Amino acid sequence: MVTIETETALLFFGCEDGSVDKCGEDLDRKFNFLPEYRKQSKVLGDVIRLEKRNEVLYGLIVGKKQSDAFSYINFEKCLSTLRKMVKKDKFFYIGVEAFCVSNDSDTMEKVISVMKSILTDPSLELYVCWPKELEHCRRANVEIGHSHVEGLRK
């Protein structure tokens, strides 16, 4: 997801203990935001907003620690907050990297469904970046180029 277009709200998942998902680690290599992220107070269901090099990253706090199971309840709370934040920041594009929970190949289908049900602004577009190791989980939707990015119209 580090090569996605500018002016896209970049999402990653984090925990109260300061850990982040693989996407957060990848984004940190480009933006070096983890020291600032770890200093901030984090509460389940909250969203941490970080600005780095003219990009805005949103950390969705979905667990207490990285070993916790992915919580769709906390994810929904984060999305409710995120909806307000992206509207205030005037974003029309949201980028998220695909992931798999407990070898559930339907994870992203569920995540996308939850995102579409909460991020209801018709002007918002969701872009899912598919790492090569998860290509087998991807459903046939709109594909943009060969970048492993999937655009989903609301």
Give bridge partners of residue 97 from the DSSP assignment. 129
Domains annotated on the chain, with CATH: 9-153 (3.40.220.10)
Amino acid 135: pLDDT? 67
Query: pLDDT (tens digit, 9 = 90+) per residue, 68-100?
Result: 888 999 999 999 999 999 999 999 899 988 887
Structure tokens at 142: 């709109």
Amino acid 149: pLDDT? 41
State the pairing for strand pair 143-144/149-153: antiparallel
Mean pLDDT of the chain: 83
Query: pLDDT (tens digit, 9 = 90+) per residue, 120-149?
Result: 888 888 888 877 776 666 654 433 322 334
- The pTM for the full model equals 0.83
Helices (H), 22-128: 22-31, 34-39, 72-88, 107-118
Amino acid 7: pLDDT? 77
Query: pLDDT (tens digit, 9 = 90+) per residue, 34-75?
Result: 999 999 999 999 999 999 988 999 999 999 999 888 899 999
Amino acid 86: pLDDT? 94
DSSP percent split of the chain into helix, strand, coil, nearest 5: 35, 25, 40
Band the pLDDT of 5: cuts 50, 70, 90. low
Amino acid 139: pLDDT? 59
Amino acid 54: pLDDT? 86
